[in-house]
Amino acid sequence: MEVIMAIAIGVLGGSGVWLVLRPRSFQVLIGLALLSYAVNLFIFAMGSLVIDREPIVRAGVTANLQNYTDPLPQALVLTAIVIGFATSALFLVVLLASRGLSDTDHVDGEEPDADAQERR
């Protein structure tokens, strides 16, 4: 299970970084979303992935790592999901306003010169 989670986190993180470095703003938005998913999975995996265990230790039960799952990473990931959704919505509004004002969706505001690309 840990290997699958590590591969998933690596693929999401790598894809997110690649998309963040792209010149168009929608690709940057998707890249930021993928990076946040990778970080959320990483935080969630740090909370000891255990199936069919209680989230909190009950009275009378010895407290060792096999008897419960830590609820703190789950709460942090839930909070990060809500904040990430709000941030993505705000970035989308700024993206649409920027496109309306400048008629381009490039991050730096400049379209590549078509003549320069043809010469290469």
pLDDT at 1 over 80: no
Whether 19 is covered by a domain: the verdict is yes
CATH of the domain at 106: 1.10.287.3510
The pLDDT tens digits of the residues spanning 51-98 come to 666 666 666 666 555 556 677 888 889 999 999 999 999 988 988 888
Whether 64 is covered by a domain: the verdict is no
The first and second tokens of residue 4, run together, are 């699958």
Mean pLDDT along residues 8-37? 93
Whether 115 is covered by a domain: the verdict is no
Whether 119 is covered by a domain: the verdict is no
Whether 27 is covered by a domain: the verdict is yes
The pLDDT tens digits of the residues spanning 47-62 come to 766 666 666 666 666 6
Using CA atoms, how far apart are residues 25 and 101, in angstroms rounded to an integer?
Answer: 14
Whether 60 is covered by a domain: the verdict is no
pLDDT at 40 over 60: yes
Is residue 13 within 8 A of residue 19, CB to CB? The reply is: no
- Domains: count for the chain: 1
Full domain range(s) for residue 102: 2-51+69-110
- Which pLDDT does position 74 carry in this prediction? 83
Residue 65 DSSP label: T
Whether 24 is covered by a domain: the verdict is yes
Q: What is the pTM of this model?
A: 0.72
Whether 31 is covered by a domain: the verdict is yes
